[in-house]
Amino acid sequence: MKDSSGKKTMYLVLLGAPGAGKGTQAVVIAKEFKLPHLASGDLFRQAVQKGTKLGELVKSYMEKGALVPDDVTIQVISVRLNEPDCAKGCVFDGFPRTLEQAKALDKALAERGKALDKAIYIDVPEEELMKRLGGRWVCRQCQAPYHEVTSPPKTSGKCDRCGGELYQRPDDNETTIKERLKVYFAQTTPLLDYYQEKGKLVKIDGKLGIEQVSESVLEALGSAKVR
């Protein structure tokens, strides 16, 4: 898409349940199209780790698997969107998650003379999501996701990309995973219709292996790699 000054831009949203592979595919898209990766969950986890005011505020919601209030989330994303690297586009991962957030994103982009290109929905059956989250390990430094079965790191406990320590997210326990799924079905799935009606929804079969899913995603985005 082009912005109001005629410059080419690419703003993408990744939709999908917890464990669908949003973070995994966002990294691939960001690399292929040289776009920043904006993951609301990562921004919140960094704030918790640093012990900032925002971190204190969001911690209890994240621990329970509940959503952080819309006003806080929208504010955090708007601030990030103002940074110069987002002027040509970005990949949103985990945002928006409510209709209010989706409308706020449309407005925020419009105010900057930009518009969303596509909402990529990674569709994965529920029983597969549990397996993916149960075996996930994440890099403490760069947040790259690994899986003990499907994508183990080269050296156990260490990130391939940055050498950082791998850990299991505190919200990846069975009780909290179930709550996150419940919240997803209640509050986030209405976004599928929202983007479908705008003609922006692209559905991807997310059951396949990581590389096959990447290929479908890149193909849907018109990457020269898969043409």
Smaller CB separation from ligand AP5, 10 or 77: 77
The question of whether 22 is a catalytic residue gets the answer yes
139 binds, among Zn ion, Mg ion, ligand AP5, none (CB under 5 to 8 A by kind): Zn ion
89 binds, among Mg ion, Zn ion, ligand AP5, none (CB under 5 to 8 A by kind): none
Among 58, 144, 191, 204, binds Zn ion (CB under 5 A): 144
Smaller CB separation from ligand AP5, 16 or 89: 16
The question of whether 112 is a catalytic residue gets the answer no
Q: Provide, rounded to whole angstroms, the least separation between the CB of residue 7 and ligand AP5.
A: 27
Size of the residue set binding Mg ion (CB under 5 A): 1
Q: Pick the catalytic residue from 45, 154, 180, 203.
A: 180
Q: Provide, rounded to whole angstroms, the least separation between the CB of residue 17 and ligand AP5.
A: 7
- Listed residue (159, 149, 161, 138) closest to 49, CA to CA: 138
The question of whether 180 is a catalytic residue gets the answer yes
The question of whether 80 is a catalytic residue gets the answer no
The question of whether 132 is a catalytic residue gets the answer no
Q: Pick the catalytic residue from 112, 169, 203, 207.
A: 169
Q: Provide, rounded to whole angstroms, the least separation between the CB of residue 154 and Zn ion.
A: 12
144 binds, among ligand AP5, Zn ion, Mg ion, none (CB under 5 to 8 A by kind): Zn ion
* Residue 23 makes contact with Mg ion by CB under 5 A: yes
Among 74, 77, 119, 139, binds Zn ion (CB under 5 A): 139
Q: What is the 3-state secondary structure (H, E, C) of the chain?
A: CECCCCCECEEEEEECCCCCCHHHHHHHHHHHHCCCEEEHHHHHHHHHHHCCHHHHHHHHHHHHCCCCCHHHHHHHHHHHHCCHHHCCEEEEECCCCCHHHHHHHHHHHHHCCCCCCEEEEEECCHHHHHHHHHCEEEECCCCCEEECCCECCCCCCECCCCCCEEECCCCCCHHHHHHHHHHHHHHHCHHHHHHHHCCCEEEEECCCCHHHHHHHHHHHCCCHHHC
Say if residues 144 and 161 touch (Cβ distance below 8 Å).
yes
Say if residues 121 and 68 touch (Cβ distance below 8 Å).
no
Smaller CB separation from Zn ion, 74 or 144: 144
* Residue 162 makes contact with Zn ion by CB under 5 A: yes
Size of the residue set binding Zn ion (CB under 5 A): 8
Q: Catalytic residues, which ones?
A: 22, 97, 136, 169, 180
